[in-house]
């Protein structure tokens, strides 16, 4: 068993595909398959089940994945510790981005790493704020952008910016309006994420305070899918303006501010309180704050 085999297995397990892992690792797919088979032979366990759509983990594979994450984190910490003596960003960092921002932040973040931090490796994971917070506390992730996080003893948060939620719908019905009062929202069929997702929690909290009954007709936990349904005439969405701009390239849909009162979401940079602030973490934190302010700036 060697580090390359462990890293290969972790990437294949996380992506669910040898072909996707080969792209990430810039290695031929057959070579990755041989490494995983050698690992299975040495451990005398089947780690992955090959299917027509990719791979799934066996029970043994899930256990090894936990060890694999820990091993890679220890290796990254060793590299970061040595690199910190030179104040140089080195090692591997895992960053979590919410669906509302992932599409607009990933490319500029990778561009920055390629140009300014060539000795560092970046992994980007998309997830809702509650999932990112869980991954930070478990050590699977180093940094994350989360909306209005709840206090947690093991997570440090830094506010980055505030965004107002908007009612998003077809331009033909909302195009002539400058805003919508919160007490008017009961008139709109809403497509919202499941209970617990932050935009849903903010809307429901304000609805309770304002004594307004929200008409939630569909629950969908995907921003692109929500916007597709809005475009298809199935209802309206309550999202930030930047979330809408991240997934739309046309003028079919518009967003108007929810007013009286405003519903505000605070985007925060979150990191584990237990992890050392290495040069890589510091530089990536600064980049995330600057890029977030740039892509979320009002048009």
Boundary (domain end) residue, out of 62, 79, 96: 79
Question: Is 231 in the same domain as 213?
Answer: yes
Residues 177 and 257: beta-carbon distance below 8 Å = no
**Average pLDDT rounded to a whole number, residues 235-261:** 81
List CB contacts of 139: < 8 A, sequence separation 6 or more: 69, 70, 73, 272, 274
Most confident range, picked from 52-56, 187-191, 241-245: 187-191
Res. 287: pLDDT tops 90 = yes
Question: Is 191 in the same domain as 257?
Answer: yes
- Give me the CATH number covering residue 49: 1.10.10.10
Res. 132: pLDDT tops 80 = yes
- Sequence length of the chain is 299
Question: Is 111 in the same domain as 167?
Answer: no
Q: pLDDT (tens digit, 9 = 90+) per residue, 49-76?
A: 988 788 899 999 999 998 988 888 788 7
Q: How confident is the model at residue 237 (pLDDT cuts 50, 70, 90)?
A: very high
Domain count, the chain: 3
Higher-confidence residue of 37 and 275: namely 37
Res. 137: pLDDT tops 70 = yes
d(CA 97, CA 106): 8
Res. 188: pLDDT tops 80 = yes
Question: Is 288 in the same domain as 143?
Answer: yes
Residue 299 falls inside a structural domain: no
Res. 107: pLDDT tops 60 = yes
Residue 190 falls inside a structural domain: yes
Question: Is 245 in the same domain as 172?
Answer: yes
Which among 183, 201, 190 is positioned nearest to 168, based on CA atoms?
A: 190
Residue 214 falls inside a structural domain: yes
Question: Is 270 in the same domain as 259?
Answer: no
Boundary (domain end) residue, out of 79, 98, 121: 79
Q: How confident is the model at residue 250 (pLDDT cuts 50, 70, 90)?
A: low
Range of the domain at 69: 1-79
Q: How confident is the model at residue 153 (pLDDT cuts 50, 70, 90)?
A: confident
Lowest mean pLDDT among 53-57, 85-89, 133-137, 174-178: 85-89
Question: Is 167 in the same domain as 255?
Answer: yes
- Give me the CATH number covering residue 133: 3.40.190.10
The pLDDT score that the predictor gives to residue 298 is 62
Residue 274 falls inside a structural domain: yes
Res. 210: pLDDT tops 80 = yes
The pLDDT score that the predictor gives to residue 219 is 93
The pLDDT score that the predictor gives to residue 249 is 57
Question: Is 177 in the same domain as 133?
Answer: no
The rounded mean pLDDT for the chain is: 86
Boundary (domain end) residue, out of 60, 79, 98: 79
**Average pLDDT rounded to a whole number, residues 142-148:** 91
Residue 28 falls inside a structural domain: yes
Which among 96, 103, 125 is positioned nearest to 227, based on CA atoms?
A: 103
Question: Is 166 in the same domain as 184?
Answer: yes
Q: Scan for tokens 């140089």, then name that residue.
A: 88
Residue 31 falls inside a structural domain: yes
Question: Is 223 in the same domain as 250?
Answer: yes
Q: What is the DSSP letter of 262?
A: T
The pLDDT score that the predictor gives to residue 80 is 66
d(CA 18, CA 296): 35
Q: How confident is the model at residue 268 (pLDDT cuts 50, 70, 90)?
A: very high
Res. 122: pLDDT tops 60 = yes
Residue 94 falls inside a structural domain: yes
Question: Is 272 in the same domain as 286?
Answer: yes
Question: Is 144 in the same domain as 227?
Answer: no
pTM over 0.85: no
- Give me the CATH number covering residue 251: 3.40.190.290
**Average pLDDT rounded to a whole number, residues 126-150:** 86
Residue 273 falls inside a structural domain: yes
User: In a 3-state reduction of DSSP, which class is residue 117?
Assistant: coil
């Amino acid at each position: 068993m060697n580090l390359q085999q462990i890293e290969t297995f972790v990437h294949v397990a996380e992506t669910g595909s040898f072909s996707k892992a080969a792209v990430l690792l810039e290695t031929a797919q057959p070579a990755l398959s041989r490494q995983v088979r050698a690992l299975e032979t040495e451990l005398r366990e089947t780690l992955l089940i090959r299917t027509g759509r990719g791979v799934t983990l066996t029970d043994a594979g899930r256990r090894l994945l936990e060890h694999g994450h820990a091993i890679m984190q220890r290796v990254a910490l060793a590299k970061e510790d040595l690199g910190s003596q030179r104040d140089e960003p080195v090692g591997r960092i895992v960053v979590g981005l919410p669906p509302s921002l992932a599409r607009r932040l990933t490319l500029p973040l990778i561009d920055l790493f390629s140009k300014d931090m060539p000795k560092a490796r970046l992994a980007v994971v998309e997830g809702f704020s509650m999932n990112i917070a869980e991954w930070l506390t478990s050590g699977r992730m180093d940094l994350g952008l989360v909306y209005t996080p709840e206090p947690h003893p093991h997570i440090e948060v830094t506010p980055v910016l505030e965004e107002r939620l908007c009612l998003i719908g077809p331009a033909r019905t909302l195009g002539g309006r400058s805003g919508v009062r919160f007490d008017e929202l009961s008139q709109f069929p809403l497509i919202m994420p499941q209970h617990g997702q932050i935009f849903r929690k903010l809307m429901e909290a304000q609805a309770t305070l304002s004594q307004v009954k929200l008409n939630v007709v569909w629950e969908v936990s995907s921003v692109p899918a929500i916007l597709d349904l809005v475009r298809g005439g199935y209802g309206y969405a309550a999202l930030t303006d930047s979330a809408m701009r991240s997934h739309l390239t046309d003028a079919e849909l518009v967003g108007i501010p929810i007013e009286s009162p405003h519903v505000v979401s605070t985007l925060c940079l979150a990191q584990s309180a237990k992890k050392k602030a290495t040069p890589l973490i510091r530089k990536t934190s600064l980049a995330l704050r600057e890029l977030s302010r740039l892509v979320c700036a009002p048009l």
